[in-house]
Structure formats: C-alpha cells, structure tokens
C-alpha cells in the first residue's frame, strides 16, 4: 500500500495544480496497475508525503471548512455528572444512569469520542489532534470547546484537572499542575486561541464566572432555551428569564463572549412565539448574544416529554413549520 501511495503522489506531483478529480483518477489508475482491492485513503496519502511535497496537502485535505477560519476547533467531553437540579428538564436525555453526560443522546461525535476514551481529556484531545492531522488540517491554533452539560456545577477540582490534562495534550508536555500547564501553553507550538464551556444561566453568576476566568475560559454557551417564564415552568427548567438577563450581563461584563442555546417547539410555545423569541433576543439589549445555536426540541425515549407525546399531550412541529 505504501508503494501504491507513493505512486499516486508521484503522479500528482507531475500535475501543476492537481484537482480532486486528478486525485481520484490517479488512485484508480494506480490501483489498476498494482491490482489493489482497496483504494488508499487521502489520510494514507498524506502520511506518505515527503518533505517538500506539502503543496499536495490542500488537495488531499478532507473537510476543509473545519479549519477555514485559521482556527482548529477541538471538542472534548467531561465525564457524566447528574443534573444540578433534583430532576432534569422534561426533554433532557442522557445522564449518569445511562453512562452519558446530561443532555446528550450518545450519538454525537464528541460524545462517541468521550465514551471511546472513557472521558479521559488527554486521550480525547491527543487523538483528535492526530485525526485532524491525518486528514491534512494544521493544528497550530486551537479553540477548545468543553462539552458535557452544566460545566460550572462540576467539582472545581475536577474542572481544574480536566483543563490541565487538555493543555498537557495540546502542549505535548506533562505538567505538574494547572498553573504550570498554562505557563507551558504560552510557549507551546499549538496556541490556544479560546476556551468555551457550556452551562445554565442560573449557574453563570459572579462566583461561577470568576472560576471560568481562572480556568482560562473566553466564551460561555448558555442554555437559555426560551425567554418565556411560563415555558420554563412547563419544562421544569428551574430558573426564569431573570437569571438569563443576569447571567448575560455578568458574563459580558467579565469580557466573556456569550452564545445562547435556543430551543424552538418547547411545550407551551408555538411558531409565532418562537419567531418573536428570536426577534426579541436580538432586539432587546438585555440579551443580544455574540452567537446563537438552535436546537429544535426532540422527543427522545426515556424522557418525560416522550411520555407526554405518547399520551397526546405534546405535538412536535411538522416539517413545513
């Protein structure tokens, strides 16, 4: 396979500006010559590149949009911890009883990697770096996104250790403590341009934000979901709009970027209310997040919302809506 990979590379080097079509054509021709039953992947070709052949990286690179901004995003998942409330929201899947972080189904790519490496932060980051390099992406400037539910509800010692191990993987050096890991990161080849965590608005008060800043966090993703207090009560959210406004103000005043998670189609809402919610979020200066993630409400077996749906008490929007 190595000889075949080199033969493909040699053919591509003879083309001034090879295209994706040229790559596939070279693969087909070489496989026919070598009588191969398996076509070499682009990552195998990248591994076979020699110094001076880097110009082929661009055409061999897969999923180019991952690093089109110049920053490589690496998502890492914390270990399963219970919801900080007595009961999770009625739509919320996952949780320690299922071996998954709260609010995750287990089918998300980051969750699958977390499960694969037993939620070890070092292994998750190190292997993700290797995966990205294998498909031709530079990993010299990274944004770290820490997923797993209400981050600020996790024990501070665990959060500190978790961030240390993430930095160890990015630095390529084992540190003795988090402070040393931060110092090493200043001189490491892989620069950390940002750190994002996710949490609930009522777990984004001043003391929580102080802890975020100590851990190097630059962006917080708030699980706002809706802006209607009656909907908050129906879904057992455990906080109201007042906490959303306060959390947004505190985070922005501390210099953090703020991303809102919004969830259309919650019980008690409707298309008109959802549309007005999106308008209000950007019209009202009490909100105005820097970014937005939209998660349409899902009916997932094992949740209270699923039971409501079975009984006809909840109806999801149709595809046209």
C-alpha distance from residue 307 to each of 97, 98, 99, 166, 261 (Å): 19, 18, 22, 39, 24
- Tokens 């690496």 — which residue? 74
pLDDT score at 156 = 98
Residues 93/300, Cβ–Cβ less than 8 Å: yes
Q: Which two three-digit tokens encode residue 131?
A: 């995966």
Can you tell me whether residue 191 is helix, strand or coil?
strand
Q: Which two three-digit tokens encode residue 280?
A: 């209000």
pLDDT score at 79 = 96
pLDDT score at 166 = 97
In terms of C-beta density within 10 A (0-12 exposed, 13-18 middle, 19 or more buried), how is residue 40 classed? buried
pLDDT score at 159 = 98
Q: Which two three-digit tokens encode residue 321?
A: 């809506």
Q: Which two three-digit tokens encode residue 34?
A: 């070598």
Cα 128 from chain centroid (whole Å): 12
Which numeric CATH code is attached to 65-310?
3.20.20.70
**Domain extents for the chain?**
2-60, 65-310
Can you tell me whether residue 295 is helix, strand or coil?
coil
Chunk the chain into consecutive blocks of 10 residues (it has 321) and report each block's average pLDDT, rounded to whole numbers: 76 81 82 80 78 76 58 93 94 91 90 93 93 76 95 98 97 96 94 96 98 98 98 97 98 98 97 98 98 96 96 93 81
Can you tell me whether residue 229 is helix, strand or coil?
helix
Q: Which two three-digit tokens encode residue 226?
A: 């809706």
Q: From CA 84, how far away is CA 96, in angstroms rounded? A: 12
End-to-end Cα distance, the chain? 51
159-203 pLDDT, tens digit per residue, is: 999 999 999 999 999 999 999 999 999 999 999 999 999 999 999
Residues 150/102, Cβ–Cβ less than 8 Å: yes
DSSP characters over 85-122: SSS--TT---BGGGTB-TT--S-SHHHHHHHHTTT-HH
In terms of C-beta density within 10 A (0-12 exposed, 13-18 middle, 19 or more buried), how is residue 273 classed? middle
- Tokens 């929007």 — which residue? 317
Q: From CA 77, how far away is CA 146, in angstroms rounded? A: 6
DSSP characters over 16-32: SS--HHHHHHHHHHHHH
17-61 pLDDT, tens digit per residue, is: 888 888 788 888 888 777 777 888 877 777 777 887 777 777 777
pLDDT score at 107 = 86
DSSP 1: -
């Amino acid at each position: 396979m190595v000889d075949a990979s080199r033969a493909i590379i040699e053919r591509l080097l003879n083309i001034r500006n090879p295209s994706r079509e040229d790559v596939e054509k070279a693969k087909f021709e070489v496989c026919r010559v070598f009588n191969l039953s398996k076509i070499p992947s682009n990552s195998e070709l990248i591994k076979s590149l020699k110094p001076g052949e880097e110009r082929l990286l661009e055409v061999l690179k897969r999923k180019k949009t991952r690093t089109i901004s110049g920053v490589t995003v690496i998502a890492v998942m914390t270990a399963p911890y219970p919801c900080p409330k007595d009961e999770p929201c009625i739509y919320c899947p996952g949780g320690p009883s299922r071996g998954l972080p709260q609010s995750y189904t287990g089918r998300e790519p980051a969750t699958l990697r977390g499960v694969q490496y037993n939620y070890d932060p070092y292994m998750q980051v190190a292997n993700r770096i290797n995966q990205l390099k294998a498909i031709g992406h530079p990993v010299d400037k990274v944004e770290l996104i820490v997923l797993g539910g209400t981050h600020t509800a996790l024990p501070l010692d665990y959060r500190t250790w978790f961030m240390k191990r993430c930095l160890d993987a990015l630095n390529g050096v084992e540190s003795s403590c988090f402070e040393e890991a931060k110092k090493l990161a200043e001189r490491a080849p892989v620069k950390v341009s940002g750190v994002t965590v996710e949490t609930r608005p009522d777990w984004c008060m001043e003391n929580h934000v102080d802890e975020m800043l100590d851990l190097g966090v630059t962006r917080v993703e708030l699980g706002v979901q809706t802006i209607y207090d009656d909907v908050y009560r129906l879904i057992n959210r455990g906080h109201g709009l007042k906490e959303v406004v306060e959390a947004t103000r505190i985070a922005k005043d501390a210099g953090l970027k703020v991303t809102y998670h919004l969830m259309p189609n919650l019980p008690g809402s409707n298309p008109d209310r959802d549309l007005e919610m999106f308008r209000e979020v950007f019209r009202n200066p009490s909100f105005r997040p820097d970014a937005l993630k939209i998660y349409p409400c899902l009916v997932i077996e094992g949740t209270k919302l699923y039971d409501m749906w079975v009984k006809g008490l909840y109806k999801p929007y149709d595809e046209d809506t």
